[in-house]
Structure 1
Amino acid sequence: MLLNDVVWTRPVTIRLQCGLERTFTGVYDALDFLENEWPLRHGERHERAVKTCSGALNGFVPAVIARDAFMAACLEAGMPAVMAPWKVKPNFHPPGTVRTAAI
């Protein structure tokens, strides 16, 4: 992670056009992808995402706005976000504890 990176509280995982999934943890990774690996160059949401991510790295735009712009650009390009399943904590009872109901 770079010193000037802005990390998102929730990473973004997208499904690339080839079917692979890729996870982005912050604004710098997203901007690098937008500028260097993007499959479409002239989409309206792509341009907005580049400007928004640049603004976030410079401290002018909140990270959550940059994240939303990046996700919108990905959707426009046919690369939807992949929703990670929520991790459910197991219902664990320490050994030796027994729960009984009074009759």
Structure 2
Amino acid sequence: MDRGEWSLPVTFETERLGAYLTISSTAEAARVLLEHWPLDRGKALKRAKAACLLVLQGKADAEIAREAFMKAAAEAEVFVRP
């Protein structure tokens, strides 16, 4: 399966204060959004999940999922390292 590798990884602070996780693929992002995301709902979250699915199905470019993940992080007020 194509994991949808990202050209630029995203590092964000997890639910545990001071703990960071770096995501470098759509498959990793999908797992985080489904299993470890601080919100259960939201427009950006829904779009990010849909974008990840499209990428994993080979119907969209991986950067679409990365951009959607960043918008979901902003919606959830998740700190992302520059």
Percent identity of equivalent pairs: 33
Structure with higher RCO (Cα < 8 A, 6+ apart): 2
Would you say 1:62 and 2:47 are equivalent positions? no
- Which is richer in helix? 2
- Could you list the runs of 4 or more consecutive aligned residues of structure 1 that deviate by over 6 angstroms after TM superposition? none
Structure whose CA Rg is larger: 1
Corresponding residue SS for 2:45:
helix
**Post-superposition shift, 1:21?**
1.5
Q: Give the alignment's TM-score, normalised by structure 2.
A: 0.90
Q: How does 1:10-49 map to 2 (within 5 A)?
A: 10-17=8-15, 18-49=17-48
- Once residues 40 and 19 of structure 1 are traced to their aligned partners in structure 2, the CA distance between those partners, rounded to angstroms, is 19
Q: Within 1, Cα distance between the matches of 2:35 and 2:20?
A: 17
Cα deviation for residue 4 of structure 1 reads 2.4
Q: Distance in 2 between matches of 1:61 and 1:34?
A: 18
| Partner-residue secondary structure (3-state), 1:46 | helix
Paired residue secondary structure (1:12) = strand
Does the Cα contact within 8 Å between 2:2 and 2:58 map onto a contact in 1?
A: no
Report whether the alignment pairs 1:6 with 2:12.
Answer: no
* CA-atom RMSD in angstroms: 1.2
Alignment TM-score, normalising by the size of structure 1: 0.73
Give 5+ residue unaligned stretches, structure 2.
none
Whether contact under 8 Å (2:9, 2:24) holds in the other structure is: yes
